[in-house]
Structure 1
């Protein structure tokens, strides 16, 4: 039986009216004339420092991680994490091996999982079928599905369907026939040597291929056969199988794999700092996967621009993102054409020739300064936005509808000098019949401009502010930001050096900034799995959960990305979603995900560190806990009952204490404990396992677990 507790109170902090409005960082040097004297910072203990590093630079500590970091020392652990290439990651690599699209170039991905337009023009004969036998077999399946879909919607002169939809009985009979066909084909395939199975599959009639790939891929009694079959296919054969199993116009398959891989990386990777920083930088250089061709460009954008440069020099990261089709398409720079360019009809030999109607698109020129580098208070004007947009004309994409690469097109480039940020940017004009090398001179203008932005002191401060906001406090201490900015300038934007300045700072290692950051939905879900050592067997369900919680992966529409501050995520609705997720997970009611609360309890009993005195809470932590506690008191959760004897209160207290140590790292507040006991009393369980599951869920839903 499900029970619901009514939501009577809301959190004191409401969600902003425009949840994705651009946050305005404080300008540099924004200090009052006579600043009040602040209380001296209280240093963290060695154990707390290890907890601080694990909570900020991982997606949550796993059982035993705290002890390992203390034994190694926090300093050495952090240095190890700064060099991810030296950290083995076999378990994650094994899981990601099934996600073949992660390593494809965009044109390869689009060829294997063509969009609806590509399939349609192939079906109409406007584009030839592939000559490769494997690709041909996959395209035949996709075209067949499209034609069948079109035929099912055709109407006669009276507007009636020519082919009526099947009755329920007819649909059930067809499903049974197709399942029998799939089972028969599976038997025939397994009778063949492994290297001959795909050759047989692609020679089958198209309806048989569809029946087999549909019902083997759909789970059920054929799920085990599918797993065996895919394990025996080589990577390219697996790609073809998945392409045949996909729906018409299947780039969504690329999104599914990318999103699931992201949550798997967050939960399973040993290279946690790299994953945390990749998440940070993707959000900083945000693109929207649902915009046009970015559906098939986002994978390479994250892989080759973001993750590759996440711990390098900021200039390299900036240039890498700028020279991607994904960014050019998302911020429309590929549409930007110089008014006096050849692409706008101007003949270089006759500058007075009539111009066309094309012009600049200033989206990227504006956002690369406002959001990527110097910040909104970076000292630029609208004229500088226009000038930078002219400088970056010609930075475009070759054949975006076919997954082509980034391209510099000199014919689109605005010729002549540009006055920008109190300096002149220019390049040699491209003369008629110029050599290929000479046509690239305008490209150097853009590289020069972005290099100038990367070296600007405003950029040093803005990037330092954003990093401190993510890893220290929503309102980061100005003195720390200034020191980080100084490191940025002294090291030419070395991200590792800036992070070292942050983690070695008195502020980061102080009680004031301990457990004061609210987890985003991504951080919450990943930490729920990591702290309980739970294997994520259904990452697709977790991706859907993040949608429910308001954070669909890769779908942040504005260039600001998702909020990294509490104001977006700390409200009663958000906590209801988190509590319900925690209860479903702990109660083994979440998408066939196995969860073992008893195992979590046992891990806690065996590995919890020696207890330290409960630390004095900072003002921010006390405020956040109080707000979450109000929601915890009134939030909606679900539960059922059984018929076994209830556990005694003393056993509950012991289990609760161990779970708190295991999942949070120290005791929760008295107020939270009282609220948890209140929930246990008001939602009776008559089974010790159910009680343990409920305790685990309530700890995961507690104010303390929402903080990092």
Structure 2
């Protein structure tokens, strides 16, 4: 496999030094920073910031409908048909399952042990029963091996292991041959009736090409059965695999791009880690039922939805938090002889909900506020998390009594009054105020349970705080405007937050209409994260993602494994974390593999990309050979491509014209003279067997260029 040299990557980055970890130096604006964007540039800006990349023709479509109309429509995702995406998502059945259903399809070790020990029956569904038979067989093999070790019996020799491996491979080849001889609809039905040993040998040893062909012909449920037979004991990780693959498919294919971008933003803000205990089966529901439906609603509702999620309660351990004076800790006011136990508060969620989710680290709270909020939120728990149970409020765990927190006194019924200065700008409940407005009852909660309303009130107060408004708007401006967003813009966004009761749509409207968002100072100044780079590479080239699993692995190798951000901060979204020489080498090599059809059987058609570029650009009146590219006027700028790319010293070649079209198609505007020169030099130095090979290389170099890394 040819790998593009790191020398080329170094040359393509505008570097101030050549150290291996030198950060990307953003190119200067093409026009005065104070100059407002024209209509075409505004369309490009909207597509760069609020989609996972513009597709060929998207800029023209936005201009035709009007930028404001396009954005308004995107803010109403229910009005946008997404049939093509929905057909693709049918490949991932767990996306529509409850956590309990998903855990049944992909059991964890504990579930397998219960079945093996007779404490839980085998499923009656034939496909599920097949998976459980394989899983139990593997577990019994493990137990037998441990017994052999305990008896100090010698392990198999290397020769014996090699012979066993060869026998398994032969079995896999035989089974594959039998399956290929059958009609597609009969293959899985035949496989699940084979001896368990044959199923295991087949699932773990079938050759790659044979496996890919069989999987392509299986139904989604049959594919789940196959994956359930792979690996070791416990296959619950496959739930997360389906979710990750669906995420990159959504990013590339969905027509509801703003909703998906905001879902990505809010999931990262309210981050959970898919590999944390029971979150392996809760994360899918968390994104589907908590984040996505609230991504364009009121921040208060989103905050409460995350607090009511078993995924968040598990991730930040709030389900383990027990009030020191609670019944769960042995304290019973009706029994004077009751003894207080050693259980206590877990402050993880109480801290992060203020530091990361709402008012921010500089929000003016104290350690005492963290402790008191943690006490307020005791009882917010999960029923049977190891069996995928729902969120519940458990009054036995709740710390009883009125609590003073963050300048408020809140009783068990959620009545709040100010007792001191909560923050310098004022807050939502003046001294002696009537109870604040509370959200609807939490799903799964005991009606009128003591202490439940206390937590709802506290979260509502956080959502209504001006400090929360400023912190959330700073993060939104950082995501959509600049790594160091202008303070005046953040202040105006925060004012909109307060006046609209935290309406996310209203805040985004204010942002996209601001002078800052529509200025050259903040045009193409944000670096793409790995998932943004990957999605935009496919969207800009109109390439259908045929192997999403390989894409998620590539994103992982770039340092952003989907749903695997361990800290509650999520992944950082600023340039310093994602762009250095090593990162660009990885992206450039991926682009080279993709465009040369060497990436996991993914089909790529560079001539088709070039054709899209030629056909989607605005044409000058009266000439089919003249097209306009890039910024300047919102009207097409008539020019002959060859004349445009030629110089006094060098007439335009076919490669020059192709490069110019690709730059306009993939990047949506001009690239620097330095980038252009280096790409031409690289193409000249590489031996290309035919025009298609040269076009593949040109496309790879544009996708790997510094300008393509920006949005």
| Alignment TM-score, normalising by the size of structure 1 | 0.85
CA distance in 1 between partners of 2:471 and 2:485 (Å): 12
Partner residue in 2 for 1:631: none
- 2:660 maps to 1:657: yes
* CA shift digits 1:243-286 (9 cap, x unpaired): 34564210111111111110000011111111100000001001
Q: 2:329 aligns with which of 319, 324, 344?
A: 344
Shift of 1:65: 0.7
Whether the aligned pair in 2 keeps the contact of 1:15 and 1:567 (CA below 8 Å) is no
Deviation per CA, 1:134-164: give whole Å up to 9, x if none: 5333311211122234445633744512698
Q: Which residue of 2 aligns with 1:62?
A: 55
Of 362-371 and 196-205, deviating more is 196-205
Which residue of structure 1 lines up, in the alignment, with residue 238 of structure 2? 253
- CA deviation profile, 1:528-574 (whole Å, cap 9, x unmatched): 11000111111111111111111111111111111111111121111
Q: 2:107 aligns with which of 97, 105, 114?
A: 114
Query: Measured at CA, do residues 696 and 132 of structure 1 come closer, stay the same or move farther in structure 2, by a change above 3 Å?
Result: closer
- CA deviation map 1:642-686 (0-9, x unaligned): xxxxxx971111111000000011121112112212322443434
* CA deviation after TM superposition for structure 1 residue 3, in Å: 6.5
Map residues 475-554 of structure 1 onto 2, 5 A cutoff. 475-554=484-563
Cα gap change, 1:346 to 1:534, in 2 (>3 Å): same
Q: 1:165 to 1:390 in 2, by over 3 A?
A: farther
Task: Report the CA distance shift for 1:371/1:673 in structure 2 as closer, same or farther (over 3 A).
Answer: same
Match in the other structure for 1:294:
279
2:166 aligns to what?
Answer: 172
Provide the rounded CA distance (Å) in 2 between the counterparts of 1:281 and 1:83: 17
Alpha-carbon distance in 2 for matches of 1:152, 1:593: 41
The alignment partner of 2:545 has SS state of coil
Superposed displacement of residue 338, structure 1:
0.5
Q: 1:551 to 1:12 in 2, by over 3 A?
A: farther
Aligned to 2:410: 425
SS at match of 1:55: helix
The answer to whether 1:584 aligns with 2:603 is no
**Where does residue 311 of structure 2 map in the other structure?**
326
Which residue in 1 is equivalent to 2:385? 400
Contact kept? 1:416, 1:427, Cα under 8 Å: yes
Post-superposition CA distance 1:196-217 (Å, at most 9, x none) = 987766554433444565677x
Cross-structure match for 2:639: none
The answer to whether residue 137 in structure 2 is matched with residue 144 in structure 1 is yes
2:168–2:205 Cα contact (<8 Å) kept: no
Question: Is structure 2 residue 344 aligned with structure 1 residue 359?
Answer: yes
Residue correspondence of structure 1 range 171-210 to structure 2 within 5 A: 171-184=165-178, 187=181, 202-210=192-200
Structure 1 vs Structure 2 CA RMSD: 3.0
Given that 1:178 and 1:211 are in contact with CA atoms closer than 8 Å, whether structure 2 keeps it comes out as yes
Q: Does structure 1 retain, via aligned residues, the 8 Å contact 2:33–2:521?
A: no
Q: Specify the alignment match of 1:379 in structure 2.
A: 364
| Equivalence for 2:401 | 416
For the 8 Å contact 1:122–1:129, the answer to whether it is kept is yes
CA gap 1:414/1:158 in 2 versus in 1, 3 angstroms:
closer
Mapping of residues 606-685 of structure 1, within 5 Å: 606-609=615-618, 610-611=627-628, 650-685=653-688
Distance 1:489 1:156, change over 3 A: closer
Distance in 1 (alpha carbons) for counterparts of 2:242 and 2:581: 31
- The answer to whether the Cα contact below 8 Å between 2:606 and 2:699 also exists between their aligned partners in 1 is yes
C-alpha distance in 1 between matches for 2:502 and 2:523:
27
Is 2:209 the counterpart of 1:220? yes
How many residues in Structure 1 have an aligned counterpart in Structure 2? 643
Q: Is the 8 A contact 1:151 1:163 kept in 2?
A: no
TM-fit CA distance, 1:306 = 0.6
C-alpha contact 2:20 2:581 (8 A) present in aligned 1: no
Q: CA deviation at 1:586?
A: 1.3
- Pairwise mapping of residues 10-29 of structure 1 onto structure 2 (< 5 A)? 11-12=15-16
* CA 1:214–1:603: 2 relative to 1, 3 Å: same
Does 2:84 align with 1:87?
no
- Over residues 86-116 of structure 1, what are the superposed CA-to-partner deviations in whole Å (9 max), with x where a residue is unaligned? 1111111111101011111111111211112
Superposition map of 1:463-474 within 5 A: 463-474=472-483
Structure 2 counterpart of 1:633: none
Is the aligned partner of 1:263 residue 2:266? no
Q: Distance in 1 between matches of 2:671 and 2:48?
A: 16
Alpha-carbon distance between aligned partners in 1 of 2:17 and 2:84, rounded to the nearest angstrom? 40
Distance 1:136 1:2, change over 3 A: closer
C-alpha spacing 1:49/1:15, structure 2 compared with 1 (3 Å): farther
**Alpha-carbon distance in 1 for matches of 2:688, 2:181:** 48
Structure 2 CA distance for aligned equivalents of residues 425 and 174 of structure 1: 66
Q: CA separation of 1:303/1:16 partners in 2, compared to 1, >3 Å: closer, same or farther?
A: farther
TM-score for the superposition, normalised by structure 2: 0.84
Out of 459-468 and 120-129, give the one that drifted further. 120-129
Partner of 1:4: 5
Contact 2:80 2:256 (C-alpha < 8 Å) held by counterparts: yes
SS at match of 1:411: coil
Q: Which moved more, 1:151-160 or 1:330-339?
A: 151-160
**Cα 1:82/1:512, change in 2 over 3 Å:** same
- Give the whole-Å Cα distance in 1 for the aligned partners of 2:125 and 2:692: 56
SS at match of 1:407: strand
Contact 1:246-1:253 within 8 A present in 2 as well: no
Separation in 2, partners of 1:261, 1:15? 37
C-alpha distance in 2, partners of 1:95/1:342? Answer: 50
Q: Of residues 95, 102, 111 in structure 2, which corresponds to 1:102?
A: 95
> What SS does the aligned partner of 2:138 have?
helix
Q: Deviations over 1:321-368 (max 9, x none)?
A: 111111111111111111101111101224684311111111111110
SS of equivalent residue, structure 1 residue 441: coil
- Output the CA distance in 2 between the equivalents of 1:590 and 1:98: 21
SS at match of 1:396: strand
Question: Which stretch shifts more, 39-48 or 299-308?
Answer: 39-48
**Distance 1:520-1:416 versus aligned 2 partners, 3 A rule:** same
Cα–Cα, structure 1 residues 5 and 458, in superposed 2: closer, same or farther, change >3 Å? closer
Give the aligned partner of residue 627 of structure 1. Answer: none
SS in 1 for 2:449: helix
